[in-house]
Amino acid sequence: MNIVATGGGGFTHQSDDLLENYVLSLSDKKHPNIGFLPTASGDNETKIACFHERFKHSGNSTHLGLFGTVSDVAQWIHAQDIIYVGGGNTKSMLAVWQSWNLPELLRNALHRGTTLAGVSAGAVCWFDVALSDSAGSGLQPLSCLGLLSGSCCPHFCNKADPAHAKTNNKDRKTVFKDLISEGKLPAGIGIDDGVAVHYSNGELVKVISARDGAAAYKIEANGKELVTKTLPA
């Protein structure tokens, strides 16, 4: 059971072919069915077009839109060998998914052998809880699908977002560490842009970096001490 979570970047922003090729390598099919869930961006047409352009020679690419005419959701999920989830608003995405029974369908797909992957919102959604700005009140814990244990923070080493300057003038890394130290988040993983983490059967098995200096980090509280470990990529 494979889940690949990318901190940021990918085909919608800049080319991180190494990461996307790694996801493709997890399928034993030469031309797998690759499905895109663009829910977090409100089915953004530009991101959908980027997805199809990126994977047009790699397999049979389709996407599932949930804001217009909707296909048979269960049938679409069942047909995919790889499901890739795009970035955007995690909270809104999860709410829409719930109304279409996507959490259960994705869990069943994972157990059937479908590879689940995604970037940003599509990375953190698989964990118990994410550090997210999608509620509109700064960086806060957000309960997610619970397919992977612990917490997750995307865009880990990015600078503070000016949009949060009035309420939380700290970068994601600092907020994530503070919340773990305070016991408000469980131990977790921070993922830089251009980096993917691969979980197999719920265990972290590999970190893949497509950018110089980018990494993933394990963060946990050990008593009163906060321990940060850079994971080898």
Q: Residues with catalytic annotation? A: 120, 155
**128 Cβ partners below 8 Å, 6+ apart?**
143, 144, 146, 148, 149, 150, 151, 186
CA distance from start to end of the chain = 21
Backbone φ and ψ for 24, nearest 5 degrees, come out as -60, -35
Cα separation values, 163 from 12, 28, 116, 136, 140, Å: 21, 43, 30, 10, 14
b vs e for 105-137, b when ≥16 Cβ sit within 10 Å of the residue's Cβ? Answer: bbeebbeeebbbbbbbbbbbbbbbbbbbbbeee
